[in-house]
Amino acid sequence: MKKTLFFLLALLGASLSISAQQTSPMTEAHSSTTRLVGKIINEDGEPITNGAIVTLGNQNISTTANDRGEFTLSYLEPMDEEVIIEARGFISNIVMVQLISGQTNDMGAITLYTDLAREAQEEVLLNLVEADLNDDEGKSQSVSSASSASQDVFNTTTSFAWSTGRYRNRGYENYYEKNYINGLAFNTAERGTFNFSSMGGLNDASRNKDVVNGIEASNFTFGGIGNSTNYLMDASRYAQGWKVGVAGTNRQYKGRVNATYASGPLNNGWSFIAQIAWRYSPYINTKGIIGEGIAYNSGGYFLSAQKDWQNGHRLSLITFGAPTERGQSGAVTQEVYDLTGSINYNPYWGYCGGKVRNSRIVRSYDPTAIVSYEWQIDPQQRLRAAVGYHYAWYSNSALTFYNAPDPRPDYYRNLPSFLYDGQLDANGQLIVHDNTSQHNPLGKENPDGSIAELSYNGNVVGHSMDMETYKTLTDLWKARDNKTTQIDWDGLYAANQASNKSGKSSASYMQERRHNDIQEAIINVNYINSKFNHLKITAGLDAKYAQGIHYKTVDDLLGGKQWIDVDPFAERDIKDLATNIGLTQEGIENVKQNDIFHHNQAKKEGDRFGYNYYMNMIQANVWAQNEWNFNEFDVYYALKIAYSSMQRSTTMVNGRAWYLATLNPDNAEKYLGKSASSILAGKEQSLYMGLSHEFIDPAFKLGFTYKINGRNRLKFNAIAQTEAPLARDAYVSSRVHDRVIDPIYTHDKAKNLKDYYAASQKIVGGDLTYDFNFPIVRGRITAFYTQFFNGSEMNGYYDDQARTFVNQTLTGINRVHRGIEAAAAVKLGTYFTLTGAVNAADYRYTSNANSITSAENGMAVCSRMDGTSIYEVTDSVYMKGLHVANGPQLTASLKLSFFHSKMWFADITCTYYDRNYLDIAPSRRMKSLYTGKMEDGTPVNGSYRMVSSGVDQNYINAVLLNDAGEMILDKFGTPQLAYPYNQVACQESLVSSNVWNRFIFDASVGKLIYLPNRQQISINLSVTNFTNNTKFKTGGYQQARLARGNLQGKTEQEGNSVLMPNAWKFPSKYYYAWGANFYLSLTYKF
Amino acid sequence: MKAFKYLSIALLAAAMTACKYDVKPESLYLSEQQVEQQVADGQIYHINDFLDKFMTEEGNYLSDTSLYRSRATNGDGIYLFSIDTLPSSGPGIYIRGRVSTDDFGGNFYKALVIQEIVDGKQQNLRLSIDMGSASGMFPRGQELLIRCNGLAIGRYSNQPQLCVPSYNNNTNSQNAEQKVGWTPGRIPSPICRKQFMHVGTPDESKLQYDKVTIAECIANYKDIVAARKVDGRLVVIENIWFNGKCYDNGELKDCVHYNPADNTGNPEVANSLADVFAPTTNNIGYPQTRCITDASGKCLSVSSSEYAKYAHYYIPYENVNGSIVYGTYKGSIRGVLGYYMDNAGKVPGQSNWAITICDLGDLDLKKGDGIKWVPEEWVK
């Protein structure tokens, strides 16, 4: 392993060395002195300082303007030339010039107009990103990247217009979108994602950025398969003056105010900028509108100071933060959407003492401080270094309960559909039993005396279902009864008050707060050298120490006196735990404790409870890149070596961890870490350290650009890398114990390369692009292909057979992401531009996955034929051929834009989405369910090989067999199931059957008004989904829980658990796109 | 660093507008005045009056022949199963009573019993509700006012209960021919939340326990119809002990089934485990019985679910020179008296009566020397 790494490093070093030798001093003679110079300014006459790019369309030469907006192009061919000027945040401009031989051709000042539409859209995007943070696990559908708006036609179009459909760049997870601030890597070490809410509302702070599309060469990072964005927050990059703005919207927040002042570069070398912002929404108690039951309150500040010295040194001090408190909304089943008649139904709120109250309140604040240093050593060399620190408070509240009914209004047993349970036959049809119209009053007899179909609210009601009960429940839901469809807060207070009075030790209900904080210290060094002719060398070093801090606190006892810190599931299942291994009474007491050294602790508001652990991580990488630029072609290659480590530590020893260690004394460290022996000896410590896991991952990429001519280019990029698992995917249940996924243990003990990378994901990918840039039309067509090998994933769910919460780890996941993306912008006369973009892709699993399922409370999940318990069920999951649920895989849009030089703009966009799929639940596709046996041959309970009809309890084989009695497989090798069991396991398409519902229409209009003394007012109105398409599902997931029933009088060995034919008992949950929504902003600059 | 942290917290706090919810305790339950207002559209019935008025022998739910009819009677006109639906509209039909059970111990599941004291005497009714851990919402001692409109009053094995009609499709169940068909079902949770109202705060001291003897329990209510109004009675029986027998003074080894934890099905293992409160039935789900007796020698079953938290505890015994001896621990038991009867056992007999405890705290047993019985768990 080490030899291989050494070899790779040596190879890159050698290449650098050789290249340096080959390209040393600028010896090439130049025959021409034709030059082109100019200065790029904005509509106020101020220089554009964020690195405008000037390209000569015919000669295929480009340069970047300096901080004063000035540019120079030398050694040009005299000809009629088309000069294309692009700058982020501005509308591109094309100017025709005649280059006169041997002269310096001065274009003078070239004005670029602010792209008001983009400015408004980026604010909207940030809003959308925050809306997506509803899922604490960060796995919900997300905007591909709020910041990926580069000058690339495809990215410009997709980053906003396609965000409604939750399009993701090439179907990658959001942690493949890398985000940097002044060069510092700000994707968190633990989850891999960037916290956009850390600068929520601070659109000026995030205005200046470098964007690298996918695998392309970069000057601030090695990059990866996804886009990389580097936010540049140096104060001198902002235009001098004041800017104040107000905005109104009907999205998550309703109003926003902000003010920014930038000093611009001062004579003494200093520059300053300060921005403050506030976004707010009161609680919305109107049912059925966007944001019902949600309140929003967020402040924000951004301060940056910069000092420039004449000798090329620059120092920047940056700090920002956006303390936020906001309510959340949750995904629900289609039945609930239908009953409530609204896609905006939110199950997380209810009335408390007459006021609206949300149970899921996020509090976040990520104060960040950065010191960055830049040294322009000479015109060809630049050194940048930065250090940063941020402490991200992130917590979310949730209701929890102890020996009390589930308080969730949309709990499956509270819905009318639960009455169907047990009423379906083997074909998924409602059974027909005793019934008369007399007792199902809505039913009528047919003329022939047979019983007519009974229905209510458009649903067929079973003849053996009580219509009155069905009707009552349905009516409660349809009427949006507060006690039924929302959280009954007063009922929870009443229950707690009753508990107090009846002398119970613990409150029945409590609002807990789950804290997932992280602190990170980050450094970065970046060096660029363009001294050598044709060669640009870029090298960098990134390092980060991160600590995830996870604990729960008692947020609100809801009138209860105290909360006893035991695990209710473990307490309930204590009989099984005790009898499995014959624990002593003291041991049994340990099992249910969340801290075995402090039994039955009474917790008050603000106290920590449940768990309190740290995830300590170190990440570092060094990388280097060589870019060769010639007239006909460019080529680059880069190598990165990354080191990472993770180690869990905890202040509380969980009783289930202790139990599992007791159960497996030879592997006690797996559960209790380094402190296992002292814990088992009963020695209390202040901190218990887990095992440390370290990884080294190499990455290599290269690219080639063939310049067919000044307007046509062909580009090819490729990458190969390994990637250590993120901490969030590495631990089986980090709240409970130190146990990591099995491949990491293999890795830890590796003696060969294969074992060393047993836990790492391998990624190989590439893309081929044809770029074109004509005066009338510009754009690109790209084909991409990325293969992931050996990915891992964690799932947790309630298992009906084990009757407890289980954790399922998936490893060995292979998948491919391939497709074509294309975009073109066509100028239609002076004022109009038509832009089209399409992404046709296929994101698909190419292998089955390995699965290990274990109960979080430590009890056995099932048993073998000989009666011995199985604590970890090893199986595989039929994933091959399934679609990766990462947004639509076919998207196309057309956008007609209008721009008038009197600063009017407008656009209208039509986007079509297709091939979008539901995220599947691996628990429904376990091999043992289809074959009746686990990997080790052990028969299992509750397989599709023996399912209950649910009517007469005759067992049928839901797996389809051919005449020879063999399973019928699909082309991916997955056995086929009979209806309705195929509904349980199938991957559903989220695409509406009505083609019209697959379209989303957006529009925006804006105007910039110039006032005397360089003052200006801009007004923007953006309306998304203005046709109010409320049938558009953006994502969703299958519930992992399976409907099972127990067979009476049967032992586990005889198979006492069967799957029930009620495929709809635990249906999927969906996310819908918001209906018509708007964003109106007014900005005044002076 | 600390200063930075504190400053950050202060900034965070400043940005948040903490919303305080002023939930007045008195707004959470009904006062007597509010009860009067609530029932103004109808009337409150005493439990027995309620049963007399609305619970018929045959039930009103199905008028034609059905499976449940055939299992309900042996031809004597007495129906063990019935469902009478209550009008969903019209005058309000209310009952009120105090919860006398607690499901924390797992021996009551999705069921409550309420007690009403009328003229110093108990009237009781079971409530069948689709609400797990209902005691968290309706603890023992909590008085409830229940609006019964739209619900049903039915009998399951002769036990009256407030319910909704439900159809049991489990034809594979034991004695399926007796079970499949319309049956009293659990009231969905949203309907409970809507129609069950807290009256005042819980007060267990207001529950009335009738002190009775085993003989009184099993002798006084041989009339099947009369027994319905005794079901759910809260009693205390003193001077009792566990005699190591089960159902109708039968031998433990004859009524045990399986290992309480593992399901090996090995009879030899099973027999060795017979002396716990409730070995598994392998999901059949019927309650297990262990006999208590007194000086009369008569047996009253203590009914325990295999899902009770104490199911795997040994019944009280003493190891005397390696031999298991029962009856050395004596004392009192308190619980809910029940009269469970299926068609096969329709003739009233002493074994049909059972007392259901909430948990082992309902047993107060001591040896002659005053040493209190300490429950002992079964271990492998």
Å between A362 CA and nearest CA of chain B: 11
Distance between CA atoms of A642 and A315, rounded to whole angstroms?
A: 28
DSSP code at position A306: E
Residues B89 and B186 in one domain: yes
User: Span A238-245, mean pLDDT?
Assistant: 90
**Hey, which of A453-457, A961-965, B352-356 has the most confident mean pLDDT?**
A961-965
User: Above 70 in pLDDT, residue B5?
Assistant: no
What dihedral do alpha carbons B73, B78, B79, B84 form, nearest 10°?
150
Give the CATH number, domain containing residue B70. 2.40.50
Residue B365 — φ and ψ, nearest 5°? -120, 140
- The domain boundary residue, chosen from B145, B178, B206: B206
Using CA atoms, how far apart are residues A939 and B193, in angstroms rounded to an integer?
43
pLDDT at A649 over 60: yes
- The answer, yes or no, to whether residue A787 has pLDDT greater than 80, is yes
A357-368 per-position pLDDT tens digit:
999 999 999 999
Closest CB to B260: pick one of A438, A499, A579.
A579
Does residue B36 lie within any of the structural domains?
yes
Mean local confidence (pLDDT), A868-892: 92
Each residue of A893-903: pLDDT tens digit?
Answer: 999 999 887 88
Cβ partners under 8 Å of residue A458, min gap 6 = none
Contacting A residues, span 543-582, partner chain B, CB-CB under 8 Å: 559, 572, 574-576, 578-582
**Which range among A127-131, A147-151, A1040-1044 shows the weakest confidence by mean pLDDT?**
A147-151
Question: Is residue A565 within 8 Å of A610, Cβ to Cβ?
Answer: yes
As a whole number of angstroms, the distance between CA A34 and CA A27 comes to 19
Q: Same domain, yes or no, for B326 and B235?
A: yes
- Minimum-distance CB partner of A580 among B171, B261, B377: B261
CB A697 within 8 A of CB A642: yes
pLDDT of residue A423: 80
What DSSP state is assigned to residue A419? G
Q: Report the candidate in B19, B15, B196, B202 with the shortest Cα–Cα distance to residue A354.
A: B19
pLDDT value of position A27: 36
pLDDT value at residue A651: 97
Alpha carbons within 13 A on the beta-carbon side of A224:
26
Q: Which of B182, B206, B230 is the last residue of a domain?
A: B206
Express each pLDDT in B155-212 by its tens digit. 988 899 999 988 877 766 666 666 677 789 999 999 999 999 999 999 999 999 999 9
A674-733: pLDDT as tens digits = 999 999 999 999 999 999 999 999 999 999 999 888 788 999 999 999 999 999 999 999
Determine the average pLDDT of the residues in A294-298. 94
Confidence category of residue A209, pLDDT binned at 50, 70, 90: confident
Greater model confidence, A771 or B220: A771
Q: Do A355 and B21 touch (CB under 8 A)?
A: yes
Position B261 scores a pLDDT of 44
* Nearest CB to A483 within list B8, B136, B193: B193
Nearest to A805 by CA among A733, A857, A751, A860: A857
- Partner A contacted by B149 (CB < 8 A): no
How many beta-carbon pairs under 8 angstroms link A with B? Answer: 261
Integer Cα distance of A990 and A885 in angstroms: 10
pLDDT at site A952: 55
B248, B187: one domain: no
A267/B342 Cα distance (integer angstroms)? 98
In tens, the pLDDT along A499-533 reads 888 888 899 999 999 999 999 999 999 999 988 88
Mean pLDDT of A113-130: 65
Higher pLDDT pick, A603 / B297 = A603
Measuring CA to CA, which residue among A771, A741, A766, A758 is closest to residue A646? Answer: A741
pLDDT at A1009 over 60: yes
Whether residue A315 has pLDDT greater than 90: yes
Do B230 and B256 fall into the same domain?
Answer: yes
Q: Is the dihedral of CA A438, A439, A444, A447 positive or negative?
A: negative
Task: With a cut of 80, say whether residue B7 has pLDDT above it.
Answer: no
Q: Are residues B174 and B291 in the same domain?
A: no
Whether A413 and chain B come into contact, CB under 8 Å, resolves to yes
* CA distance to A433, A714, B57, B58, B171, per residue, from B73 (Å): 20, 87, 11, 10, 19
pLDDT of residue B40 exceeding 90, the answer is yes
- Mean pLDDT over B307-334 rounds to 89
* Average pLDDT rounded to a whole number, residues A268-289: 94
Whether residue B236 is found in the same domain as residue B345: yes
The predicted-structure confidence for A919-966, as pLDDT tens digits, reads as follows: 999 999 999 999 988 877 777 778 888 887 755 567 788 999 999 999
Packing angle between helix A585-592 and helix A574-581, nearest 10 degrees? 140
Highest mean pLDDT (candidates A756-760, A955-959, A1064-1068, B25-29): A756-760
All residues of chain A having their beta carbon less than 8 Å from the beta carbon of residue B167 are 422-423, 433-434, 462, 464-466
Predicted local confidence at residue B274, as pLDDT: 66
Co-location of B320 and B336 in the same domain: yes
CB A322 within 8 A of CB B41: no
Q: How far is CA A107 from CA A41, A70, A86, A580, A980, in A?
A: 12, 11, 15, 85, 72
pLDDT at B273 over 50: yes
Site from A502, A561, A571 to mutate, B interface, most B CB atoms within 10 angstroms: A502
Test A1050 with B283 for CB contact under 8 angstroms: yes
Whether the pLDDT of residue A890 is over 70: the answer is: yes
Q: Do both B121 and B237 map to the same domain?
A: no
Closest among A214, A207, A261, A260 to A232, alpha carbons compared:
A207
Chain A residue numbers touching B131 (CB-CB < 8 A):
405
Locate the chain A residue with the closest alpha carbon to B69: A434
Taking the Cβ of residue B185 and every Cβ of chain A, the question of whether any pair is shorter than 8 Å is answered with yes
**B123, B239: one domain:** no
- What pLDDT, on the 0 to 100 scale, is given for residue A1076? 96
Q: What is the pLDDT of residue B114?
A: 98
> How far is Cα A275 from Cα A682, in angstroms, rounded to an integer?
54
More confident position, A239 or B267 = A239
For residue A197, what pLDDT band results from cuts at 50, 70 and 90?
Answer: confident
Q: Please give the Cα distance from A156 to A211 (Å, whole number).
A: 11
Give the mean model confidence (pLDDT) for residues A373-402: 95
- Name residue, tokens 């707690």: A496
What are the pLDDT digits (tens) for B101-133? 999 888 999 999 999 999 999 999 999 999 989
Contact of B264 with chain A, judged by CB distance below 8 Å, is answered with yes
Q: Band of the pLDDT at A139, cuts 50, 70, 90? A: very low
State which residues form the domain around B191. 28-206
Q: What is the mean pLDDT of residues A429-435?
A: 63
Q: What is Dmax (Cα atoms) for chain A?
A: 103
Task: Return d(Cα A115, Cα A92) in angstroms, integer.
Answer: 9
Q: What is the pLDDT of residue B66?
A: 46
| Interchain proximity A1049–B281, CB inside 8 Å | yes
A413 and B130: CB-CB below 8 Å? Answer: yes
Domain boundaries A32-113, corresponding CATH code:
2.60.40.10
Does B2 fall in a domain?
no
Residue B74 lies in a domain: yes
Average pLDDT over residues A109-131: 68
CB contact under 8 A, B191 and A473: yes
Q: Which of A73-82, A943-952, B323-332 has the lowest mean pLDDT?
A: A943-952
Percentage of residues in chain A having pLDDT higher than 70: 89
Task: Kindly state whether residues B182 and B235 are assigned to the same domain.
Answer: no
- From B146, B181, B206, the end of a domain falls on B206
Using the beta-carbon criterion (under 8 Å), do A404 and B130 form an inter-chain contact?
no
pLDDT of A127: 57
Q: What would the DSSP string read from start to end of A324-342? A: EEEE----EEHHHHHHHT-
- The average confidence (pLDDT) of chain A is 87
Mean per-residue pLDDT for A1057-1061? 83
- Does the pLDDT at position B248 exceed 80? no
Query: Hey, what amino acid is at A761?
Result: Q
Contacts of A10 (CB under 8 A, 6+ apart): none
Q: Are B201 and B29 spatial neighbours (Cβ–Cβ below 8 Å)?
A: yes
User: Looking at CA atoms only, how far is residue B16 from chain A in angstroms?
Assistant: 6
pLDDT for residue B369 is more than 80: yes
Of B28, B190, B284, the CB nearest to A494: B28
Mean pLDDT over residues A314-320, rounded?
97
**Domain for residue B22, yes or no?**
no
**C-beta atoms surrounding A578 within 10 Å:** 22
Q: How confident is the model at residue A436 (pLDDT cuts 50, 70, 90)?
A: very low
B225 and B284 together in one domain: yes
* In a shared domain, residues B313 and B201: no
Domain count within chain B: 2
pLDDT at position A34:
85
Q: How confident is the model at residue A577 (pLDDT cuts 50, 70, 90)?
A: low
